[in-house]
Amino acid sequence: MLKYFFVILFSLMSICSYAQNAKQLLDFVTTEEKGQLDVINHSVMAFEHGNYKYGLKLLKKKMKKDGDFYDGILFQAYGERQIQNLKNAIQYLNKSIALNPKAPIAYFLRGNTYMDIANYRLALTDYKKCIKLDSSFLPAYNNLALVRIFNQGKAKAHKNDFKMAKSELSLLQNCDEDNAGIEEVYFNLGLISMHLNKYYDAICCFSKAEGSEKMKNKSIYYNGVCKFNIKLYEDAVTDFEKSQTNNYRSEECEKYLSLINLISQNKNE
């Protein structure tokens, strides 16, 4: 069958980078105590300049003097993860959750750290908890869907896992489409739909993902692949030519265009 003439490499995108910028994490600060806010702001400045050890030192000094507090521990976990001290990061996130068990961001960050060490079962649990606490926490839906696929123990994901992932991401249809990262989520949903041979669903998702400059070229290309698979050859040609113009996967585009030309010639004979 022609639809599988080319091998399609799926590049699912994680939003583990959400709240990876220390300034983004400031949005989740709960303390109103001036001394705590000051040390957090100073540590964030250090983190932003890549001086993670100094930022961690400031936080540890403050908590040694005044005792542990939720936000300080959360930022300690952030700093430890940035320097790949993942075991320490998880320990701090465990502490932060113990102090504030209803904070979705802590579960999300711990889920990301579990993903870093490929402990997908625990990551799955944390993303579910994050969503339970905040049903509009978009990045958790995305990463939960990826965990569904990664949590195999085998080289290839089963179709059922893609179906479950699609179900998780489909919940985002009701979320705020202005939310940061929504285009990446739609791109992932497009890839998953494509894997399930739901090409019209995939085209719809890729079209939404095109709203992001970051995702535009990839989405146009995969839209072309979908249209090729459902024999919308003229529309596929338009997408592949756009991809070539944008220098995205030009060689693959040329192969598809050549094949479409061959199909057209055979029809005319």
Q: What is the pLDDT along the chain (269 residues), one digit of tens a residue?
A: 333 323 333 445 554 445 567 888 888 889 899 999 999 999 999 999 999 999 999 999 999 988 999 999 999 999 999 999 999 999 999 999 999 999 999 999 999 999 889 898 899 899 989 988 987 777 787 787 777 767 654 434 455 656 666 666 666 555 555 555 677 778 877 877 887 788 998 899 899 888 888 889 989 999 999 999 899 999 999 999 999 998 988 888 999 999 999 888 877 66
Give the tokens for residue 83: 């320097």
CA distance 183 to 208: 7
Query: What pLDDT, on a 0 to 100 scale, did the predictor assign at position 27?
Result: 85
pLDDT at 129: 93
The pLDDT score that the predictor gives to residue 20 is: 61
Q: Where are the domains of the chain?
A: 2-30+103-268
End-to-end Cα spacing for the chain: 21
pLDDT recorded at residue 194? 80
Dihedral angle sign, alpha carbons of residues 197, 253, 215, 204: negative
The dihedrals phi and psi of 32, each to the nearest 5 degrees, come to -120, 5
pTM: 0.65
Q: What is the pLDDT of residue 160?
A: 61
Sign for the pseudo-dihedral over CA of 177, 183, 188, 191: positive
pLDDT given at position 43: 94
Q: Which residue from 162, 150, 96, 82 is spatially nearest to 120, judged by alpha carbons?
A: 150
Q: How far apart are CA 52 and CA 47, in angstroms?
A: 5
Q: Give the pLDDT confidence score for residue 155 in this predicted structure.
A: 39
CA distances from 71 to 28, 100, 199, 250 (A): 8, 9, 45, 48
CA distance 249 to 262: 20
> What homologous superfamily does CATH list for 2-30+103-268?
Tetratricopeptide repeat domain (1.25.40.10)
Q: What is the pLDDT of residue 5?
A: 28
Q: What is the pLDDT of residue 146?
A: 75
Distance CA 51, CA 181 (A): 27
